[in-house]
Amino acid sequence: MQRDKWPAPERGLVLTHFLTVRDVARAREFYAGVFGGEVVLDENPCIVKVANTWIIMNPGGGPTPDKPGITLKAPERTDTVSAFMNVRVADIAAFSSEARAQGAEFLTEPIDRKAELRCYMRDPDGYLIEVGQATGMLEGIFADRSGTSQ
């Protein structure tokens, strides 16, 4: 077994992203296909290595001894979000074209925000994913401050 395939650091820490999903197989296919991820473990939990991180997926469930009083479930509404995944790509046009070919649906085309080109997509469970390509920020140009959430 190759240690670099697993989210298990030899020292320090590694940050992963856990998603509660309705259908593990569907979510696994999405993250492996759209993001070119490597399936490390099929289920219980499903682990997909994507670039330099891991996405861990499992169906919802009730409290456990290590998380008493906590129930996990996939999002019920898609119009309210408190957190989202942020993906940075080298070429947003190529990525969005390839992702669409894999069945991904974007909310908009990439929009030029001065500092970056940015758009959002959703996974099969409705999780929001920001996709961006650094442009102006590489030269010290940043988006205008509007006083509202960016």
Would you say the pTM of this structure is higher than 0.75? yes
| Rg of the Cα atoms in the chain | 17
Model confidence over 51-62: pLDDT tens digits? 999 999 999 999
| Mean pLDDT, the chain, integer | 93
Q: Is 31 helix (H, G, I), strand (E, B) or coil?
A: helix
Burial class (CB in 10 A: 0-12, 13-18, 19+), 109: exposed
pLDDT tens digits, one per residue of 127-147: 999 999 999 999 999 987 765
pLDDT along the chain (150 residues), means of 10: 81 94 97 97 96 95 95 92 94 97 96 96 96 94 69
